[in-house]
Amino acid sequence: MSESLSSLQKPQWKYLLSSLMSDDSKLKKPTRKDRIRAKKKSFKLSEKQVEMIRSQKGKMSIRQICEWYKKKHHNIHTVSPGMVHGILSGKYHKPPEADDRVSIYDLINSDLSEEELENLDPKKVRYD
């Protein structure tokens, strides 16, 4: 078989390979309707879901929160222990009231003296 494949030219080799692969795809079972939704996709947590995770902070461990979240969403959406830890510690999905930065537009509209503007830390200014 290897002699016959090596004797084929490159375009013939690609055609032979693609025909073999298409035969394999015909043998696969069609996916069930309930598994189509459960495919892993990129997923962004909503504010409601983040608050759900935060509400369990003192009640469960991080891994238990992951399992609880998975069951709550019928095994469709999962959240990693690292993400749960980040949410609980405030590294990810910070609540808006925890942000102590000042908007640049508020600084422009306010009547601050030159000294106060110079003493202001640039990291505490939000440029959006």
Q: Give the mean pLDDT of the chain.
A: 79
Domain count, the chain: 2
Is the domain of 66 the same as that of 105?
Answer: no
Residues 67 and 102 reside in one and the same domain: no
Q: What is the mean pLDDT of residues 3-31?
A: 60
Length of the chain: 128
Q: Are residues 72 and 52 in the same domain?
A: yes
Buried b (16+ CB within 10 A) or exposed e, 63-81: eebbebbeeeeeeeeebee
Residue 33 falls inside a structural domain = no
Q: 117 near 125, Cβ under 8 Å?
A: no
114 in a domain, yes or no?
A: yes
Share of the chain above pLDDT 70, in %: 69
Beta-strand runs (E) in the chain: 102-103, 125-126
pLDDT band at 116; cut points 50, 70, 90:
confident
Q: Is 8 a residue whose pLDDT tops 70?
A: no
Asked if residue 86 belongs to a domain, the reply is: yes
Tell whether 23 is covered by a domain.
no
- Give the residue with greater pLDDT, 38 vs 67: 67
Same domain, 88 and 112: no
pTM of the model: 0.50
How confident is the model at residue 10, as a pLDDT?
Answer: 55
Residues 82 and 121 in one domain: no
Domain range enclosing 54: 45-93
